[in-house]
A = this chain, B = another copy of it.
Amino acid sequence: MAEGSVGLWLIGAKGGVATTVALGLQALRRELADNVGLVSSLPQFAALDLVPWDQIVVGGHDIRSASLYDEAVTLHSNSRVFDERLLKACQVDLQDLESNFRPGTLHNVGPTIENLADADTRQSETPRDAVSRLRDDLEEFRTNHNLRHVVVVNVASTEPPFDVEVPANWEAVEASLAQNECPLPASSLYAIAAFGAKCSYVNFTPSIGSNLPAMCELAELHGQCHAGRDGKTGETLLKSVLAPMFAARHLEVMSWVGHNIFGNMDGVVLNDPANKQAKVASKDKLLAEILGYAPDSLVSIEYIKSLGDWKTAWDHVHFRGFLGTPMTLQFTWQGCDSLLAAPLVLDLVRFTERAGRSGETGVLSHLGSFFKSPMGEGPVEFSQQFQHLTEWAQQTAKASSQNGLSGSAEQNGVVAERNGSHPPQEAKNGA
C-alpha cells in the first residue's frame, strides 16, 4: 500500500458539493457515516488499494470566504439534510480546514458568478499571474501537509459556454496567458495550475476545464491524469440507464422532455441563460448518442428557491411501440444534489489518484460513468460505462499484485515505461 496522505483540492470549496465533501469525509473518518453512496466502497473495488478516508486532506479555492461550517448549517436548515449530531461532531474539523482555503479567480466566469464573489477577489491579475498564484497555492498545500499527491476537483459554478477557437498546441495557448484578453475561463486556468503543480485535475462541472487539445497536451507534458466533465448525478444518470432499454427493445423514442427544478446556488447561476445553456447542452446530446437518432428533446432547468438543494426532475418519455402504438414513461426524481455529488467526488479522487499511482496519464476514459459528457473515448450507456470501470479495476489490481509490493515501486516502473524518464510522482514526492 502507498504511504502518505493525498490532497483533495476543491475549486468552489465553499459551495454545497464541496461542503458536503468536507463534512462527509470527516464523518467517514470518525465512522459516523457508513459508505452508502460511495461507489469506490463497493466490493468490486476492494482489491484496488484505494486511499483510505483518513488519509485525504481537503483544501481549496473559492471566490467567497464564507465559513465552511456555516455553509453546512445553512444546507442543513434549508434542505433538511445532515444529522444535527453529525454537524456538531464535525464542527471543529470543519473549522480547522479554514486555513486550507485560498481565494480563487474570476477570469471569464461571466457576470452572474462575479456577483457571487467577495468584493476583494482579485480581478486585476493577468491569466498568467492567476495561474502562477493558484499553482503556488497547490504547492504550498502539498508541502504543508506532506502529501504524496493532490487531486484538484472543480465543483465551482457552471461558466457560460466556451465556444472560442483556441490554438490546439499548448505553446500557443501558453503565450496567450500574458494577455487579459485570453479567452480561457477560470476552469481552465485552474487546470493549468494543477498540471503545472503536478496535480491531477477532475472537472465535475460542465465548464470547459481541461477539455481542449492544448490542455490535454499539457497534462501529458506533466504526466498527469485528468477526467470530466459534469458529474452525472440525477436526471442524466437515469437517461443513460433508461435510453439503452428503449434501444434494446427497439421502441422508438418520439420525444423526451425533462424539466428540472431546484433551489441551490447552482440554480442561481443557472438562472442566467448563458450559464444555463452550457448545462442544458451537456444534458441533451446523450439521447442521440445512445439511440442512434435524435428524438424531439427538451431539457429545462429552473431555479425554484423553496426546493433548496433538492433537485426535482420530471421526465416524460413518449415512445412508439409495435404497430405504431404510442406509450408513455414518466418519472420524478427527487434527489439532494450535494448529497448525490459529494460521494462521487470522493470516488473520483480515489480512482484518479489510483490511476496516477499506476502510472496512467492523460484522460481517464474509464471514469465515464461519473460524467454527463465524458472526456475520451468510451461507451455512453451507463451499464457499459460501469463495466468499463470494473474491468479497469480488475486489470489495475492484477497488474499491481504482479508488479510487486508497494504502490510506489509499481508506479515508478509503469511510469518509466509510459512516459520516458520523468516519473510524475517523483517530482511531487521530492524523491
Residues of A within 8 A of B (CB): 20, 23-24, 27, 33-39, 41-42, 77, 80-84, 86, 237-238, 241-242, 244-245, 248-252, 254-255, 257, 259, 261, 296, 298, 300, 302, 304-307, 312, 314, 316, 318, 320-336, 339-340, 342-343, 369, 381-384, 386
B329 and A244 contact, CB distance less than 8 A: no
A321 and B339 contact, CB distance less than 8 A: yes
Q: Identify the closest chain B residue to A81 (Cβ).
A: B325
- Specify which chain B residues have a CB less than 8 angstroms from the CB of A325 in the assembled complex: 81, 336, 339
Other-chain contact of A306, B34, B38, B255 (Cβ < 8 Å) = B255
A326 CA to B252 CA, complexed, in Å: 24
- Specify which chain B residues have a CB less than 8 angstroms from the CB of A333 in the assembled complex: 328-329
Given contacts A37-B321, A80-B80, A318-B306, contact A300 B255 (CB under 8 A): no
Complex copy number for this chain: 4
Other-chain contact of A36, B77, B259, B320, B343 (Cβ < 8 Å) = B320
A318 CA to B244 CA, complexed, in Å: 23
- Specify which chain B residues have a CB less than 8 angstroms from the CB of A316 in the assembled complex: 261, 312, 314
B306 and A298 contact, CB distance less than 8 A: no
A37 CA to B307 CA, complexed, in Å: 19
A330 CA to B315 CA, complexed, in Å: 11
Shortest Cβ gap from A291 to chain B (Å):
12
Shortest Cβ gap from A2 to chain B (Å):
23
A42 CA to B247 CA, complexed, in Å: 9
Q: Identify the closest chain B residue to A335 (Cβ).
A: B327
- Specify which chain B residues have a CB less than 8 angstroms from the CB of A384 in the assembled complex: 383
A38 and B250 contact, CB distance less than 8 A: yes
Q: Identify the closest chain B residue to A385 (Cβ).
A: B248
B300 and A296 contact, CB distance less than 8 A: no
- Specify which chain B residues have a CB less than 8 angstroms from the CB of A23 in the assembled complex: 323
A300 CA to B261 CA, complexed, in Å: 12
B322 and A36 contact, CB distance less than 8 A: yes
- Specify which chain B residues have a CB less than 8 angstroms from the CB of A259 in the assembled complex: 257, 259, 300, 314
A255 CA to B249 CA, complexed, in Å: 27
B252 and A36 contact, CB distance less than 8 A: yes
A-B pairs with beta carbons under 8 Å apart, 29 shown:
A35-B250, A36-B324, A37-B320, A38-B250, A38-B322, A41-B250, A42-B248, A81-B325, A238-B245, A241-B242, A248-B382, A248-B386, A255-B305, A255-B306, A257-B302, A259-B259, A259-B300, A296-B304, A298-B302, A304-B318, A314-B330, A321-B336, A321-B339, A321-B340, A322-B343, A327-B339, A329-B331, A330-B332, A331-B331
A383 CA to B384 CA, complexed, in Å: 8
A321 CA to B314 CA, complexed, in Å: 20
Q: Identify the closest chain B residue to A322 (Cβ).
A: B37
B324 and A33 contact, CB distance less than 8 A: yes
Which among A39, A248, A254, A328 has the greatest number of chain B C-beta atoms within 10 A? A248
B332 and A329 contact, CB distance less than 8 A: yes
- Specify which chain B residues have a CB less than 8 angstroms from the CB of A342 in the assembled complex: 322
Q: Identify the closest chain B residue to A309 (Cβ).
A: B325
- Specify which chain B residues have a CB less than 8 angstroms from the CB of A257 in the assembled complex: 259, 261, 302, 304
- Specify which chain B residues have a CB less than 8 angstroms from the CB of A312 in the assembled complex: 316
A250 and B302 contact, CB distance less than 8 A: no
Which among A27, A324, A333, A381 has the greatest number of chain B C-beta atoms within 10 A? A324
A321 CA to B39 CA, complexed, in Å: 11
- Specify which chain B residues have a CB less than 8 angstroms from the CB of A248 in the assembled complex: 39, 42, 369, 382-383, 386
